Structure 1
Amino acid sequence: MIDTEINPDARLWPFSRWYPVIAGAVTGLILRIGLFNDAPGEMMSAMAAAFIYAGPLAISAVAVYVAERQARRSWKYYAWLGSRANGWAVLAALAVTIEGLICAIVIVPLFMVIGAAGGLAMGAICQRTNWPRSSVYGFAALPLILAVVLPAGAGDTHIGHSMRSVVIKAPAAQVWHELHNAAAIEADEVDRAWMYRIGVPLPESGVTRQVGETLVRDVRMGKSIHFAQVASEWRENSYVKWHYRFEPDSIPAGALDDHVKIGGHYFDVVDTIYTLTPKGDATELTISMHYRVSTQFNWYATRVADLLFNNFEKVILEFYARRAEAAFTRASSLPAPHPASAGLPRQAALPRT
């Protein structure tokens, strides 16, 4: 039973079936805008465990309570409504620009799963007790209570590792050249990577220059993002290990969600390693990346990061393979060099600074 009389005419109200979903989504917006809007790492951040775990429960509880005031519902409906209300809450936060596209896409599956469980819990309370109103107040207050009880901060640090290889039908010198001269990158060359499809700006170029005894790769991406990859170790035509160097203006405001900003509280790329291994007339190119994830729900965040990085590596290796094979095919089709120039190097050295 519920502690208020169900209105038998509720189903006749215009758009009444949307009222529970709207009530849940509004609850989510209030929590996100009014309470959990602190800077990354703070107690009331949107990445705090209190909001990630208890926020979806509050959204579901309000939605199911409103639905039960209209009519008795089924267990299937409770789960469906809790999941749907959370999905709409995330979309609402995205619509009012309080949340970025990347974060919204990454977090919505978790919210919807927790929301389904919350819908079932609130449905059980509505069907089997006489205190659903008190319970919905408790669910609504739970995120705030947990925020006070649970420790603030970014959470545990996890260093993830992803590695992939591809065999390229081109010599190592050609592959090495393409690695360091990725100019004028077209969108259709890399936009199949999931991270770009969910909102990370597309890369535009990555060109290396030699500075003293090391290599520095200048990377440019959409939305005016720019940074340097500095080689801590390298052997020509064989191996390079990049570390990342960011300037204060490397990532302009709004270019990336604060919650997934490289070098931020919750996420960073530690290094990227390329290894070139001759395989007869071909070259095996291997990419190895280490990245940091620091959240209070690493069990979920690290799995998302693993999927995104593994997919990125697949796409970027295919990009280098296409460019190296196309360049080698063009070079092979040219007439043989004149004997007088046979000793000249086939490709120019990296520019020096």
Structure 2
Amino acid sequence: MNRENLITVAKILALPTLYAVVLRLFFGVTAWGNLFYVMSMSFLFCVPTIMGILTVYYSDIDDIRKFSYRFFVPWIPVVILLLITTAFSIEGWACWLMILPLFLIASSVGGLIGGRLRMRKHDNKLYISLIALLPLIAAPIEAIIGSIPGTYEAYTYIDITAPADKIWGNVTRVRGISAAQDKGWLTRFLGFPRPVKAELNYNGVGGYRKAIFTDGLVFHETVSDYIDRQKMVFAIKAYPHEIPSTTMDEHVVIGGQYFDVLNGTYELERLNTTTHRLHLYSHFKLHTTFNFYASWWARWIMQDIQNNILQVEKYRSENE
């Protein structure tokens, strides 16, 4: 590979990657307060879009004419950025997995924009320089506008062939769950804590239920509505200071700045003489400027946790 080709490769791969790393470190400075922060559209959408623009704009014109090149090649610096930030613990794997689809789509959009700019006859380098400053301009505006908190529901259910009293006993108090009984595939893949047990000190309003997970995660639950063998509603509180910093990524920690679980509800419905349907609802709150995207992931995670608990309760009610 000659010197000219090396310079071209450096431009289309190293330049956008270096740009993104610098912006990630800049947006991660806590001294900026809420003016520049990673969990913003200014970073999560603008930065990968600009990465795509830089990648394609500095590519060979013959390559740029190919749609597949403009759409897919911007993914390469995104993957390099992923490897760098996870290797140096700048970003966690779970957080990356959730934002990766957004980064890939945005970088492809940027690639199409970069190709259009490059295929124009006049020089657009000034436009490229101004576009590169867009996250720094947009972030303060986004901070002023602020985020709109949103409350969302995750609903799951399971049918159990067992008497109501036996099911309810496994609902109110969940004995130790072994790793082999853990079927939460999504939370396990993301590296989230898995459920261990749940203890209730009193069957009734005012009862305190402690749901314990691995790695120090604890849900403190207070029963607010109770009908024996029919319904149990409980407020949920997780305290970030109780959770070790190595347990969850700072951007997805439960009870933190962006994500919190509010309450849960168990309802036991009789379907026939032998079968009951156990419903489990939870409500959670998001505080970001991109709740439309974050809510999908949050709901999937909550449903995975709930389905995991329900399958344990079903197995124990029917077989033990």
Normalised TM-score (structure 1):
0.81
Q: 2:113 aligns with which of 121, 141, 146?
A: 121
In structure 1, how many angstroms separate the alpha carbons of the residues matched to 2:270 and 2:155? 18
Alignment CA distance shift 1:157-1:142 (3 Å):
same
In structure 2, how many angstroms separate the alpha carbons of the residues matched to 1:162 and 1:109? 22
Partner of 1:131: 123
When Rg is computed on C-alpha atoms for both structures, the one with the higher figure is: 1
User: One-letter code of the match for 2:257?
Assistant: H
In structure 1, how many angstroms separate the alpha carbons of the residues matched to 2:159 and 2:105? 40
Tell me, what secondary structure is at the counterpart of 2:89?
A: coil
**Displacement, 1:109?**
0.4
Judge conservation of contact 2:237–2:262 (CA < 8 Å) in 1.
Answer: no
Judge conservation of contact 1:94–1:100 (CA < 8 Å) in 2.
Answer: yes
Alignment CA distance shift 1:222-1:169 (3 Å):
same
Q: Does 1:65 align with 2:68?
A: no
In structure 1, how many angstroms separate the alpha carbons of the residues matched to 2:217 and 2:163? 32
Partner of 2:290: 297
Judge conservation of contact 2:240–2:254 (CA < 8 Å) in 1.
Answer: no
In structure 2, how many angstroms separate the alpha carbons of the residues matched to 1:41 and 1:222? 31
Any stretches of 5+ residues in structure 2 without a counterpart?
none
**Displacement, 1:208?**
1.7
Tell me, what secondary structure is at the counterpart of 1:110?
A: helix
1:235-276, Cα deviation, whole Å (9 max, x unpaired): 222211121134464212232222222222221111110011
Judge conservation of contact 2:268–2:276 (CA < 8 Å) in 1.
Answer: yes
Partner of 2:37: 45
User: One-letter code of the match for 2:89?
Assistant: T
Alignment CA distance shift 1:58-1:37 (3 Å):
farther
Partner of 2:281: 288
1:212-245, Cα deviation, whole Å (9 max, x unpaired): 9632222222222223111111122221112113
Superposed counterparts of 1:183-332, under 5 Å: 183-210=175-202, 214-247=206-239, 249-279=241-271, 280-327=273-320
Count of aligned pairs: 319
More deviation in 210-219 or 277-286?
210-219
In structure 2, how many angstroms separate the alpha carbons of the residues matched to 1:317 and 1:281? 18
**Displacement, 1:152?**
4.3
In structure 1, how many angstroms separate the alpha carbons of the residues matched to 2:31 and 2:20? 18
1:7-38, Cα deviation, whole Å (9 max, x unpaired): 98644x59x75762333222211110123443
Judge conservation of contact 2:205–2:226 (CA < 8 Å) in 1.
Answer: no
User: One-letter code of the match for 1:310?
Assistant: Q
Judge conservation of contact 2:184–2:307 (CA < 8 Å) in 1.
Answer: no
Judge conservation of contact 2:161–2:318 (CA < 8 Å) in 1.
Answer: yes
**Displacement, 1:124?**
1.0
In structure 2, how many angstroms separate the alpha carbons of the residues matched to 1:73 and 1:9? 23
Alignment CA distance shift 1:94-1:39 (3 Å):
farther
Q: Does 1:172 align with 2:161?
A: no
User: One-letter code of the match for 1:28?
Assistant: A
1:122-149, Cα deviation, whole Å (9 max, x unpaired): 1111111432432332222111011133
In structure 2, how many angstroms separate the alpha carbons of the residues matched to 1:194 and 1:261? 16
Alignment CA distance shift 1:183-1:53 (3 Å):
same
In structure 1, how many angstroms separate the alpha carbons of the residues matched to 2:294 and 2:240? 26
Alignment CA distance shift 1:173-1:220 (3 Å):
same
Alignment CA distance shift 1:236-1:102 (3 Å):
same
Alignment CA distance shift 1:245-1:310 (3 Å):
closer
In structure 1, how many angstroms separate the alpha carbons of the residues matched to 2:254 and 2:4? 49
Partner of 1:79: 71
Alignment CA distance shift 1:201-1:154 (3 Å):
farther
Judge conservation of contact 1:79–1:117 (CA < 8 Å) in 2.
Answer: yes
Alignment CA distance shift 1:18-1:272 (3 Å):
farther
Percent identity between the two aligned chains:
23
In structure 2, how many angstroms separate the alpha carbons of the residues matched to 1:40 and 1:148? 10
In structure 2, how many angstroms separate the alpha carbons of the residues matched to 1:71 and 1:79? 11
Alignment CA distance shift 1:195-1:19 (3 Å):
farther
1:102-124, Cα deviation, whole Å (9 max, x unpaired): 21111110011011000110111
User: One-letter code of the match for 2:287?
Assistant: S
In structure 2, how many angstroms separate the alpha carbons of the residues matched to 1:19 and 1:175? 62
Normalised TM-score (structure 2):
0.89
User: One-letter code of the match for 2:302?
Assistant: F
Alignment CA distance shift 1:309-1:35 (3 Å):
closer
More deviation in 286-295 or 244-253?
244-253
**Displacement, 1:153?**
7.3
User: One-letter code of the match for 1:160?
Assistant: Y
RMSD, aligned CA: 2.8
Tell me, what secondary structure is at the counterpart of 1:123?
A: helix
